[in-house]
Amino acid sequence: MKNVTFYLFEQIEQKKLIEPYQLTKANIPTVLEVAFGCQSVRPMSVDILPDEANTRSQQRGGFKGEGYNANNELNRYEALACELAAKYWRLGKRVLIACESLQQAERLDEALWQRSPEQFVPHNLAGEGPKQGAPIELAWPERRGSSPRHLLINLLPQLADFVTVFQEVIDFVPYEEHLKQLARERYKSYRRVGFHLSTATLPT
């Protein structure tokens, strides 16, 4: 069975926003707890993703939501994507992170390199590294990964057109209404191509 897990985000206080990938129990406990398996999973309902959206904001697309900073910092969705990729690599999975641009891929690549030695995870940008790619690969629309992967982590605003080659997908539902609307459209697309949907709620 093909499965998609959506991670649901709620609004958080400004003081809890992610600093430049300094993920510790002190500064972002909810992300670490979810990334290391302390989430509750339940069947997904389309009602979780309401129709209402800010049309003008929706046109911006992507996950440039709360916590986004253009100065090479990660927003909450990007940081969680990195932690989940590391988690599943430790479980023996080969992971593809589908980024919306080269700039986003390079930002995540740099963040993964900044991890401490004991938290190192082998990764590369698509087209770099060994012939079959590192266990974690970062791709974007103009440069796709080519080697088989177990897990897709989607940071694209739309459904990836290669999603059906994966048995397992992770996606995100931001709390901002315009991004929820994009997630709702992806939800319908996943269901249409035969995926089973569930959600993982971040702890409060």
pLDDT digits (tens, 9 = 90+) for 82-98: 999 999 999 999 999 99
Distance, first Cα to last Cα, the chain: 30
> Which residues are within 8 A (CB) of 200 and not within 5 positions of it... i.e. 6 or more apart?
5, 6, 7, 8, 34, 39, 40, 41
Split into its structural domains, the chain has a count of 1
pLDDT digits (tens, 9 = 90+) for 190-201: 999 999 999 997
Instruction: Report the predicted TM-score, pTM, of the whole model to 2 decimal places.
Output: 0.72
Phi/psi at 18 (nearest 5 deg)?
A: -70, 130
Structure tokens at 51: 């129709």
Which CATH number fits the domain that encloses residue 10?
Answer: 3.40.50.10110
Q: Greater confidence, 68 or 111?
A: 111
pLDDT digits (tens, 9 = 90+) for 110-155: 999 999 888 999 999 998 888 888 999 999 999 987 678 999 999 9
Highest mean pLDDT among 38-52, 53-67, 135-149: 135-149
- Mean pLDDT value across the chain: 76
Domain region containing 81? 3-201
